[in-house]
Amino acid sequence: MTKRPNIVLVMADQLAPHFTGTYGHPLVQTPNMDALAARGTRFDAAYCNAPLCAPSRFSFMSGQHVTRIAAYDNASEFPATVPTFAHYLRMMGYRTCLSGKMHFVGPDQLHGFEERLTTDIYPADHAWTPDWEMPDERIDHFYHNMDAVKTAGMAATTFQIEYDEETAFYARRKLFEYRMNAVEPFCMVVSFIHPHDPYVARPEWWHLYDHDAIDMPSSPEATDPHSRRVMAGIEASVTDVTAEEVRNARHAYYANVSYFDSNVGKIVKALEEADLLDDTVVVVTSDHGDMLGERGLWYKMTWFEHSARVPLVMAGPGIARGVAGAPCSLVDILPTFLDIAAAGGEAPAPGMPLDGRSLLPEARGEAAPADAEAIGEYCAEMAPAHPVLMIRRGRWKYVHCDVDPPQLYDLEADPMELENRAADPAHAGTARAFVDEVAARWDSAAIRENVIATQRQRRAVHAAMEAGLWTSWDYTPPRDASTEYVRNTVSWDDVLHRMQYPPPGGRS
C-alpha cells in the first residue's frame, strides 16, 4: 500500500458556486479557492442532496440519501447507528477531528469524530421541528424571513464572525499539534458558518467591493407552486424590499464569501507551514447554495441551481488538474474519502448500502460513468406536506412533487432554468422516463407518512425536555486549562519545545 494522504475538508454554509470567482463570477474574489482549483479538480455539477443545513450534512457525512436515514429537516435526529466517513476512516487508522458546524441533532454529537474542537452554532434538540399536518402555518421562531435582507450591511462583529474565528483558530492549532506529535494520517473537517445569512460583513471585506458595481438578480420571478410557498414562508411575498436593500444583501454576501475564502487560505497556509500540505488532499465544498434574490427567492429550500448546487474543489497528492462536468453530489464524498484512504488497499465493508460513488477516478482525470447523477429529496418546512424530489442526469434536471406540476429543465440549453419542458411534446419521451423513474424510486405517500410520524415523536420529546429539568444535548468541548501553556507540572523548556514549530534548532 502506498502512503495514505491526510484529508482536510473545508466546508462553507450556504455558498452557491455561482457567487465565487472560482466558478467564474466576474466580481467575487476567492483567490484561495482559485489556487486550489488551479492545481486540482473543480467539479462543475455538484449538488447537495437536500437544500437545507442539517439534512444535507447528514447525507454528506453518511453517504445516504435523506429518506434512507429519515434526515428530513433541521430538527431530525441523526441516529448514532448510522455510520459516517469518520467511523470508516477511524477503522482505517485515521485520526478524525471536527472543528466548527455540523448541525448534528440528538445526543450523539461526535458521529465518528474522535475530537470536536468547538461547540456547534445551532441547537442540538428538536425545537426546530416543522409540522406537515399544518403546512401553511409559519413557525416564527425558526423560519427564515426577510429581515436578513432588509438589515444587510456592515458590523464590527456578529455571532457568526465570532464562531468562524474560533473554528479557524482551533483547526489551525490542531494541525500544528498533529505535525509536532507525528499524527498521520488524519482527517479533519473545518466547517464555517459563512456566508450564511445574516448578510452582515466586517468592513475590510465589505470594502473589497465597489457597492455600485454589485450585480443585481437577473432572472424573472419564479411562478411554480413550490417557489410561491417558499416566498410565502420567508415572507418575501408580503415584504417590500428596495433595490438598495437587495444590493446591500448581495454586497454583504460577496464580502462574506471572500471572508470564507480567507479562512480556506488560513487552513491551507497552516498545512504548508506545518509541512503537511504535500501529503494532504484538500477539499472545499458547501452544504447548499443561496438564491440571493434570483427568481425572487432568498436562502435555499428549492431545487433551482443557485440553491441546489455546491462548489466542490479537490487538490492534493494524486489529484489531476482539470474540470469534471458530470453530475455528482455530497453523498459521493464518503466513498471518495474511503477510496483516498485505501490508497490501493481495501476499505472496510460499509455498514449500510451507500448511495454515492467515488469521485476519485474523475479527480485523477478519468471519465465519469455514463449514468452519473445527483439525487435530491426535500422534506422540510415550506414543502406542501409532500416530498419535493429532484433528479439531475446528463443535461436534464427533473423536479417532482405529487401535488405540483412537474418541472423539466435542459441545463445545457437553458442554464437559468427559464423554460419548463415537462409539457413540451418535443421532450415527451424524456419527461415520461423521469415520471416512471420517480414512481419506481420513491413512494411519496410512505415518505409523507413517515415524516409526519417522526415530527409527532420529536414534538413529544421536545415538549418533555422543556417541561422538566433541562438537559442539553449541545456539545461542550472538553478543556483542562491546568494542562495548557506554562504550568508547574512541566518545565519551561518542555512547553517551548512542545508548542513551537519548527522546533528550536530547525525541522527534524
Between the alpha carbon of residue 241 and those of residues 144, 151, 189, 226, 235, the distances in Å are 15, 11, 37, 21, 11
230 residue type, one letter: V
Instruction: Give every strand in the sheet of 407-410, ordered side by side.
Output: 373-378, 388-393, 396-400, 407-410
Sign of the alpha-carbon dihedral angle for 113, 9, 60, 356: negative
As a whole number of angstroms, the distance between CA 276 and CA 300 comes to 36
Confidence (pLDDT) at 141: 76
C-alpha cell recorded at residue 416? 437559468
- Of 10-19, 222-231, 482-491, the range with the lowest mean pLDDT is 482-491
Between the alpha carbon of residue 269 and those of residues 115, 117, 253, 262, the distances in Å are 22, 19, 24, 10
Above 90 in pLDDT, residue 430?
yes
- Of 201-205, 224-228, 477-481, the range with the lowest mean pLDDT is 477-481
230: closest CA among 156, 302, 294? 302
163: closest CA among 256, 97, 234? 256
Confidence (pLDDT) at 484: 87
Domain boundaries, the chain: 7-126+146-209+241-370
Catalytic residue IDs:
53, 103
Q: Are 53 and 78 in contact (CB under 8 A)?
A: no
pLDDT in tens, 443-458: 999 999 999 999 999 9
Confidence (pLDDT) at 239: 94
pLDDT in tens, 264-323: 999 999 999 999 999 999 999 999 999 999 999 999 999 999 999 999 999 999 999 999
As a whole number of angstroms, the distance between CA 339 and CA 346 comes to 8
- Highest mean pLDDT, choosing among 114-118, 217-221, 486-490: 114-118
Q: Is 420 exposed, middle or buried (0-12, 13-18, 19+ CB in 10 A)?
A: middle
Q: Are 290 and 326 in contact (CB under 8 A)?
A: no
pLDDT in tens, 81-127: 999 999 999 999 999 999 999 999 999 999 999 999 999 999 999 99
155 residue type, one letter: A
As a whole number of angstroms, the distance between CA 129 and CA 381 comes to 9
In the CATH hierarchy, which top-level class contains the domain 7-126+146-209+241-370? Answer: alpha beta
C-alpha cell recorded at residue 248? 446591500
DSSP 140-192: TTTS--THHHHT-EE-S--HHHHHHHHHHHHHHHHHHHHHHTT--SEEEEEEE
Task: Label residues 370-397 b or e (16+ Cβ within 10 Å = b).
Answer: eebbbbbbbbbbbbbbbbbbbbbbbebb
Confidence (pLDDT) at 508: 57
93 residue type, one letter: G
Cα 455-290-13 angle, rounded to 5 deg: 75
Above 80 in pLDDT, residue 1?
no
Mean pLDDT over 411-433 rounds to 97
Confidence (pLDDT) at 407: 98
Confidence (pLDDT) at 499: 83
Residue 453 Cα to chain centre, angstroms: 27
| Confidence band of 136 (pLDDT split at 50, 70, 90) | confident
Q: Is 439 exposed, middle or buried (0-12, 13-18, 19+ CB in 10 A)?
A: exposed
- Which residues are CB-contacts of 482 (< 8 A; sequence separation ≥ 6)? 489
Above 90 in pLDDT, residue 475?
yes
In the chain, pLDDT over 70 holds for what percent of residues? 99
pLDDT in tens, 169-192: 999 999 999 999 999 999 999 999
| Confidence band of 3 (pLDDT split at 50, 70, 90) | confident
